[in-house]
Amino acid sequence: MLAFTLVFTGLMAGTYEATREPIARSAAAEQLRLINEVLPPASYDNTLLNDVRTLGATPELGLPKGGRIWRARKNGQPVALVFEAIAPDGYAGAIKLVIAVGADGRVGGVRVTDHHETPGLGDYIDPKKDKNKASPWVEQFVGKTLATLPLERWKVKKDGGEFNYRTGATISPRAVTNAVARAVQYASTQRDALYQ
């Protein structure tokens, strides 16, 4: 039994060592692919995954346990911040997001990375599940800034704001819209500190 345990442990350790690096490369590639959905790769020239800042608890972004911000730069100058954020108030729980905010305060893109919203009803917040492939719901944030759209207008139209929603599914877009507004405001107030 002891010999079996030693051989099995050795095999497991060997398998772990053999697969650790390929798994890490695959995870990094997937992370970069997701970031590049909200921030065009040609807009920055730094090694984005290495220019990351780890945040402690950041309630402004819905991150009670903290999260990460990637800092995009071109020729050493700030281009954009890519935030992890959570909308805690989705219909079926937390909605995880990645949001790019340019150095000029413009939203570069928004992607839902995880949610449990009702299939066929509230899941259109995720462009992969949105039936409108020509103009996915999340694309309406792109280009918006606090300078052109005051914070009080960062709401769905049902609540007197600027952003569309689909009838029968207001809670999910309301949660995402509020999370994006908080991220844009956080980027605006913390910009200089976040790029350091």
Q: Is 89 exposed, middle or buried (0-12, 13-18, 19+ CB in 10 A)?
A: middle
pTM, full prediction: 0.82
Per residue in 16-58, pLDDT (tens digit) is 566 656 555 655 567 778 888 999 999 999 998 999 999 999 9
Whole-angstrom distance, CA of residue 175 vs CA of residue 194? 25
Domain ranges across the chain: 36-195
Contact 87, 176 (CB under 8 A): yes
Question: How many other β-carbons are positioned within 10 Å of the β-carbon of residue 113?
Answer: 13
Mean pLDDT, rounded, of the chain: 86
Backbone angles phi, psi at 117, to 5 degrees: -70, 160
